[in-house]
């Protein structure tokens, strides 16, 4: 169950790691778009998912979320993205103020969910910014095209005393 201590995770339980340890406020969009920023785009919540829509302001519409962090803290991120059009050349998850974890999917398949996870280390400033981007040939092509973000989870491994765990080990715990 989720309440059983896991020896490899410093005897933390799954609840402690993924529920109490998830420091993203509104990562499930239960409070609409509160705390999320649309850049070169607009966004809204539909059926519990954040939908980012290109407006033609750029070839790279995006939504982002900042999470407060202490320098050198190690974080585990997990999310799921779905492109809702045939025009995107790629989708990306990009971290600002952190090293590691960036992901690019070239020529994404429409309506196919892409699971994302990564481990990043905070190296600058007071927060880590997670950017969810969908890229197009030009700004005009982005108009009306959508990227769906199902959720964002971010667990501070350092604060939980489990920063020795790898991405693969965290993925295995998340899948339990």
Per-residue pLDDT of the chain (176 residues; tens, 9 = 90+): 688 898 989 899 888 898 888 999 999 999 999 999 999 999 999 999 999 999 999 999 999 999 999 999 999 999 999 999 999 999 999 999 999 999 999 999 999 999 999 999 999 999 999 999 999 999 999 999 999 999 999 999 999 999 999 999 999 999 87
Maximum pairwise Cα distance, the chain: 53
For tokens 């900042």, what's the residue? Answer: 66
User: What distance in Å separates the CA atoms of residue 104 and residue 31, rounded to the nearest whole number?
Assistant: 28
DSSP conformational letter for 126: S
CA neighbor of 98 nearest in space, from 133, 125, 117, 116:
125
SS3 121: strand
């Amino acid at each position: 169950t989720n309440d059983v201590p896991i020896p490899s995770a410093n005897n933390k339980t799954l609840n402690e790691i993924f529920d109490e340890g998830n420091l993203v406020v509104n990562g499930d969009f239960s409070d609409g778009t509160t705390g999320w920023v649309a850049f070169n785009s607009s966004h809204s919540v539909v059926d519990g998912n954040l939908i980012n829509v290109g407006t033609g302001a750029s070839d790279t519409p995006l939504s982002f979320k900042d999470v407060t962090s202490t320098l050198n803290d190690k974080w585990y991120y997990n999310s799921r993205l779905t492109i809702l059009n045939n025009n995107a050349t790629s989708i990306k998850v990009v971290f600002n103020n952190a090293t590691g974890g960036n992901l690019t999917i070239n020529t994404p398949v429409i309506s196919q969910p892409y699971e994302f996870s990564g481990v990043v280390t905070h190296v600058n400033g007071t927060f880590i910014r997670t950017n969810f981007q969908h890229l197009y040939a030009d700004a005009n092509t982005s108009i009306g095209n959508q990227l769906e973000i199902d959720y964002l989870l971010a667990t501070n491994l350092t604060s939980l005393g489990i920063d020795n765990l790898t991405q693969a080990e965290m993925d295995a715990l998340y899948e339990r």
